[in-house]
Amino acid sequence: MKHSHVCSLFALVCSTSVSAESYVIGVEKLAFAPHYSIDAQGQYQGFARDLFDLFAAKSGVELSYKVLPVEQLLPALLNGEVDFKYPDSDTWAQAQKAGKAVSYSQGVVNYVDGVLVAPQRQGQSIDQISRLAMVNGWTPWGYQERIDAGKIELTYSDDLRQMIRQALKKDTDGAYFNVVVATHYLDNIRARPGALVFDAKLPHNRGSFHLSTIKHSEFLKRFDRFLLDHQSEVAALKSQYRVEANLDADRIGLEQWKLDFLERQKLKEARVQ
């Protein structure tokens, strides 16, 4: 009788183990705070990690993160080495994805990519941009025609730190990058808030980061439902990490003290009314 009980328990444990859902999300080995970064121990962290961990806790699945160099991440998805890729978009790497049935989640977080310039250059026309700093692998949306015509020369860097240094030394007329990430770097890591500012009058690109997959499109529907059903918790994470902070053209890229001042003014006006 005891032997039968032990066997039944063993079968239950095995059955539970087999049925547990486990997935691997391929993520970028990139310093891209506050969205995501890799700590000294090689662990994925930031807004995206907390968001996916929250989803895993709410849905009862197991998620692990495979950190890969950016150029290896898409091939890993296409070759089946990872179950999902983050971030992704249907507008990225279209030639590489041709013929592949890639599915995408709803937008996870919005972003703006654009040019940051020295404050005294803000508001100048695109004709004043002749040298543009870029990080390897990035595409300067809105500038390709002038680049092809030889009117803008691109200067590539290995990472954000090197690119920002070029722009601060005035080796270039501006730096093209994710505006929230670049501003976070200047404010919190380089400790040079306001040294470069986003110029919303220059061409810039708005989009959203998505979770993508080839094999698990049904899983994405569950993730989309999570984003909808837990909007308040997702919004709290976005607020905590400031990943969507001040994406309006008149606010994005502003130093924090200016944003705080604008909020105080807004509250004061509301009390008067």
Tokens read off for 1: 């009788």
Q: How many domains does the chain have?
A: 2
Those residues whose C-beta lies under 8 Å from the C-beta of residue 46, and which sit 6 or more positions away, are 32, 33, 34, 35, 36, 37, 241
Q: Are residues 149 and 63 in the same domain?
A: no
Backbone angles phi, psi at 41, to 5 degrees: -90, 5
Q: CA nearest 107: which of 216, 238, 203, 236?
A: 238
Q: CA-to-CA distance for 96 and 160, rounded, in angstroms? A: 25
Whether the Cβ atoms of residue 112 and residue 35 lie closer than 8 Å to each other: no
Are residues 127 and 177 located together in one domain of the fold? yes
Q: What is the C-alpha separation between 21 and 62, in angstroms, rounded?
A: 6
Are 30 and 136 members of one domain?
A: no
pLDDT computed for residue 2 by the predictor:
46
CATH of the domain at 48: 3.40.190.10
The total number of residues shown for the chain amounts to 273
- Does 85 score more than 60 pLDDT? yes
- Is position 1 within any domain? no
Residue 254: inside a domain: no
Q: What pLDDT is stored for residue 136 in this prediction?
A: 87
Predicted confidence (pLDDT) per residue in 89-123, tens digit = 999 999 999 999 999 999 999 999 999 999 999 99
Which domain covers residue 86, as residue numbers? 21-110+208-241
State the Cα–Cα distance between residues 43 and 65, nearest whole angstrom. 8
Range in 68-77, 162-171, 173-182 the model is least confident about: 162-171
Q: Residue 201 in contact with residue 168, Cβ under 8 Å?
A: no
Helix (H, G, I), strand (E, B), or coil: what is residue 29? Answer: coil
In a domain, 119, yes or no: yes
Global confidence as pTM: 0.82
| Residues 91 and 169: beta-carbon distance below 8 Å | no
Task: Name 100's Cβ contacts closer than 8 Å, sequence gap at least 6.
Answer: 78, 214
Does 45 map to a domain? yes
Is 172 domain-assigned?
A: yes
The answer to the question of residue 268 being in a domain is no
Task: Encode pLDDT of 14-62 as tens digits.
Answer: 444 455 699 999 999 999 999 999 999 999 999 999 999 999 999 999 9
220-248 residue pLDDT tens:
999 999 999 999 999 999 999 999 976 66
- Residue 167: pLDDT above 60? yes
Q: Is residue 16 domain-resident?
A: no
Question: How far apart are the C-alpha atoms of 139 and 144, rounded to whole Å?
Answer: 8
In sequence order, what are the beta bridge partners of 104?
212
189 — pLDDT class (breaks 50, 70, 90): confident
Strands 62-68 and 205-213: unpaired
